[in-house]
């Protein structure tokens, strides 16, 4: 294969990040963040440090905020400059140019052609997802890429499919949204990363929702589920992914962020780890209940099932306010909720 952005990595022996460990409640989060969870350790950087933005997640009425690490946070923490890559030639030509310059490209592709989605979409369903290309070889039609739970490889017809070459050429040009990453000349120090991460925590804490978003979701949940149950069962998976999974995965990652801060000496945050994990595990439990409710057409008790997560969000915000919050933005729960 050709030169790579990370020449020391090999898909066959690659070891995934602990943030993607199989024993977690939500081993996969969403395609964009999953890429960064793997790319940052490949640069020798702690991915946990960039997760403070999790606090800004809100209930948007029909879904929870699709969480993505802000690009300005990546630059402040690690010196990474992420910029949109204009596509005016074939996508793979642009990506190869950046690889030759030692830069990583993040590209939206069709998951139909990604072997790592075997069993959930590979050669079965078409869907948009983000990958980061580590290396490519046009002659052998091979590629190594970050996606999902790690670093993977593909070849042959899948290579042609991803870039719409050969038998997969389309009548219109393939112009996906693409970003490229400029790496800093020097890796930031652990002291710098910790200091900036806590600054970002204060900033994102002040930007969190004014009201408890889990409580807002719990109120809407039974009515939404009743409507979901009237659709084909496959729609249940889409609904669950954009609600319970987004909420649970977001706060499981935030629990890992707090664990990282505790490991840096911020031991007073240990209680917050448990509160964030409660949100995660409660969402996983309620997702199982949701599947049964949809099949049985029985929706009683769904709202109450989320009370542990509702309370945990309140408790977590009050704890963080005590250590990182400004007086004028400190959180006061609208009502006192007693856990189920």
pLDDT at 59 over 90: yes
For the four alpha carbons of 85, 148, 243 and 331, in that order, the dihedral sign comes to negative
pTM higher than the cut 0.85: yes
Q: What is the mean pLDDT of residues 230-243?
A: 89
Alpha helical stretches, state H, the chain: 31-42, 71-78, 91-100, 157-163, 190-206, 213-228, 233-240, 246-263, 270-296, 302-305, 307-324
The region, left, alpha or beta by phi > 0 then psi within -120 to 50, assigned to residue 219 is: alpha
Beta partners for 64? 59
pLDDT at 299 over 80: no
pLDDT the model gives residue 290: 85
Instruction: For the chain, give the longest Cα–Cα distance.
Output: 64
Determine the distance from the C-alpha atom of residue 306 to the mean position of all C-alpha atoms in its chain, rounded to a whole number: 22
User: Mean pLDDT in the chain?
Assistant: 92
- Sort strands 150-155 and 142-147 into parallel, antiparallel or unpaired: antiparallel
| C-beta separation of 142 from 154 below 8 A | yes
Least confident residue range of 179-183, 184-188, 226-230: 226-230
SS (H, E, C) 65-120: CCCCCCHHHHHHHHCCEEEECCCCCCHHHHHHHHHHCCCEEEEEEEHHHCHHHCCC
Higher pLDDT, 95 or 304: 95
The rounded distance, in Å, linking the Cα atoms of 200 and 93 is 36
pLDDT the model gives residue 3: 86
pLDDT, tens digit, for every residue of 120-156? 889 998 999 999 999 999 999 999 999 999 999 999 9
pLDDT, tens digit, for every residue of 208-220? 999 999 999 999 9
pLDDT the model gives residue 335: 55
Q: What are the distances in angstroms from CA 214 to CA 24, 42, 317? A: 21, 34, 12
Higher pLDDT, 278 or 295: 278
């Amino acid at each position: 294969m050709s030169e790579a952005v990370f020449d020391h990595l090999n898909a066959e022996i690659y070891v995934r990040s602990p943030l993607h460990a199989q024993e977690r409640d939500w081993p996969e989060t969403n395609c964009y963040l999953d890429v960064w969870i793997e790319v940052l350790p490949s640069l020798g950087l702690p991915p946990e440090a960039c997760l403070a933005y999790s606090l800004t997640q809100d209930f948007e009425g029909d879904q929870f905020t699709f969480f993505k690490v802000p690009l300005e946070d990546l630059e402040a923490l690690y010196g990474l400059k992420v910029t949109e890559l204009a596509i005016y030639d074939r996508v793979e030509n642009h990506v190869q140019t950046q690889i030759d310059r030692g830069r990583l490209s993040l590209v939206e592709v069709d998951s139909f052609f990604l072997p790592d989605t075997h069993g959930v979409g590979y050669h079965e369903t078409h869907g948009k997802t983000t990958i980061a290309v580590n290396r490519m070889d046009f002659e052998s039609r091979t590629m190594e890429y970050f996606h999902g739970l790690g670093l993977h490889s593909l070849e042959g017809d899948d290579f042609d499919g991803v870039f719409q070459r050969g038998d997969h050429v389309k009548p219109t040009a393939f112009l996906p949204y693409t970003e490229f990453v400029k790496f800093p000349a020097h890796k930031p120090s652990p002291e710098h990363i910790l200091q900036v991460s806590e600054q970002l925590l204060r900033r994102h804490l002040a930007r969190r929702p004014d009201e408890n978003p889990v409580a807002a979701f719990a109120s809407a949940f039974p009515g939404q589920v009743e409507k979901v149950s009237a659709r084909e069962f496959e729609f249940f998976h889409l609904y669950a992914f954009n609600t319970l999974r987004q909420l649970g995965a977001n706060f499981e990652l935030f629990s890992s962020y707090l664990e990282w801060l505790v490991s840096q000496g911020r031991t007073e945050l240990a209680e917050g780890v448990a509160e964030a994990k409660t949100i995660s595990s409660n969402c996983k439990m309620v997702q199982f209940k949701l599947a049964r409710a949809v099949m049985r057409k029985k929706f009683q008790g769904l709202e109450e099932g989320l009370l542990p997560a509702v309370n945990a969000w309140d408790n977590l915000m009050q704890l963080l306010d005590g250590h990182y919050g400004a007086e004028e933005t400190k959180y006061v729960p609208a009502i006192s909720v007693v856990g189920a």
